[in-house]
Structure 1
Amino acid sequence: MKKIEAIIRPFKLDEVKEALLEIGVHGMTITEVRGYGRQKGHKETYRGSEYQIEFVPKLKIEIVVDDSLLEKVVDAILNTAKTGQVGDGKIFISDITDAIRIRTDESGPDAL
């Protein structure tokens, strides 16, 4: 099993969610996060004053999938979250040793 963490632009969530549903991903966790990478924030103007926004609002999607779905999930996120501009986000992939569904005690891929 793999855990996929994707940091995306907030307005891309609906497109990403629909693409994941189409390939059979039924569960995900969404967290509102703030941070920066190479873009190092941006400047905004409010009432004539310019100020620096260091931490840009993003969404973090967390999904745990069977190894067989990994490539499809990554492709779906890449194809729907990409705008081609700095700040599109990142995808991180980790190994998961086990998952347990609390309600039924199922474990491994059956728990997903």
Structure 2
Amino acid sequence: MKNVIVFLRPNCYFKTKEALNEKRFFAMNTKEVLGRGREHVSFTTGEGNNEADDKIYSRTFVAKKMINIVVTDDRLDELIDVILSVNSHGAEGDGKIFVTPVDSCIRIHTGETDEDALI
């Protein structure tokens, strides 16, 4: 099993969710987050502020959506393909996907474990 954490542009969230539903990826957690990657984000007030003020604004965090999905190993590539197909625009800030292993999963209600707990 893998834990997939996706950071994407907020305006791509609903298209991503719809595409995931079409491919039967229903179980997920989402959050609104603030962050930034390596791209340089520059904001100015337009009021002619000095360079020192502009440096403060150039480090501003950007709104993103975070999606967290735990998936079986055999569906990982399919999940990543769906996410990339909706969110890859060839521009900085398109987002990022992190994949980490999941050692165990337990459904509290039934006591089912691992892949049985995901289905």
TM-score with structure 1 setting the length: 0.90
Return the match for 2:63 from 57, 79, 83: 57
How far apart are residue 40 of structure 1 and its match?
3.2
Deviation sequence 1:15-65 (CA, Å, 0-9, x none) = 11111111111110101111111213331436x466626101101110000
Alignment-derived partner of residue 24 in structure 1: 24
User: 8 Å contact 1:40–1:54 — kept in the other structure?
Assistant: no
**Change over 3 Å in CA distance of 1:72–1:38 after alignment to 2:** same
Alignment-derived partner of residue 86 in structure 2: 80
Alignment-derived partner of residue 3 in structure 1: 3
Identical positions, percent: 39
**Change over 3 Å in CA distance of 1:101–1:55 after alignment to 2:** same
Unaligned runs of 5+ in 1: none
Aligned residues: 111
Q: Which runs of 4+ in 1 moved over 6 A?
A: none
Alignment-derived partner of residue 108 in structure 2: 102
Relative to its length, the structure with more helix (as a share) is 2
TM-score with structure 2 setting the length: 0.85
What is the RMSD computed on CA atoms of the aligned residues?
Answer: 1.6
